[in-house]
Structure 1
């Protein structure tokens, strides 16, 4: 009986601990402070090209509160290298185009740790759409801010 009780507690506690960790690391204002040198986010709609974890609907829902209606798009002239993109003339990266508002972009910035791990830069996609994309900061720049 004691073993069954312990397993029951573990079955409840594990998902709660995971949910708490996800909230703390992705959504909580307590683990990320936007660096002062970053420009404020402009109001209005924003387009964001994503190619990693944010291509998964449950992650988008956790990060900014909805899955949206992303469109498949291609970024020409880059290749994916782990968690980043590297220029490569004949390569292409498939991803999704998200349409978000300023608050949602702020939540994406928090998730990507803008100014600490990533920078947000403008790119032109294969269909000539301009969009933001998150690129890893050079290792020394990231070390200097942490």
Structure 2
């Protein structure tokens, strides 16, 4: 029985880490990825290590992080809140992995990627819903 369980785990691991995972095509409005490694702040689905594994293609460790002055808004977005703190995680990605995240988040069409300062004083990219609470499509 143990041998069968190991086989099942191995097949699942291979399927998650090696099998092609569909990502939507890049949008014309998607900004270029950073030139080097970048930090990303996740507050919703990107807090899940399995989602990061499937989207990015490798196990991506994360650390707890906070974004002061922001809170969870309606559904998948964040909204400014003067005395609020948004809890999430921060993790590092390569430029190629940022492209995969941009495709997953539909950057330029559904979300925009903004560089924001976290509670620790370091900057990280944050995905924000386009069209929510006065946000327009990316033009800057």
Report if TM-score (shorter chain) is over 0.5: yes
- Residue equivalent to 1:5: none
Distance of 1:52 and 1:105 partners within structure 2: 17
Give unpaired runs (5+ residues) of structure 2: 1-14
- Following superposition, the deviation at residue 66 of structure 1 comes to 1.8
CA contact (8 A) 2:68 2:85 kept: yes
Q: TM-score, normalised by structure 2?
A: 0.75
- Residue equivalent to 2:49: 57
Distance of 2:34 and 2:84 partners within structure 1: 31
Task: Report Cα offsets for 1:45-72 as digits up to 9, x if no partner.
Answer: 0110001111111111100012322110
The alignment of Structure 1 onto Structure 2 pairs a total of residues equal to 117
Q: Does 1:117 align with 2:127?
A: no
- Following superposition, the deviation at residue 35 of structure 1 comes to 2.6
Higher relative contact order (CA 8 A, sep 6+): 2
Which protein is bigger by CA-based radius of gyration?
1
Distance of 2:114 and 2:67 partners within structure 1: 13
- Residue equivalent to 2:69: 77
Root mean square deviation, CA, Å: 2.2
Distance of 1:103 and 1:92 partners within structure 2: 30
- Residue equivalent to 1:28: 22
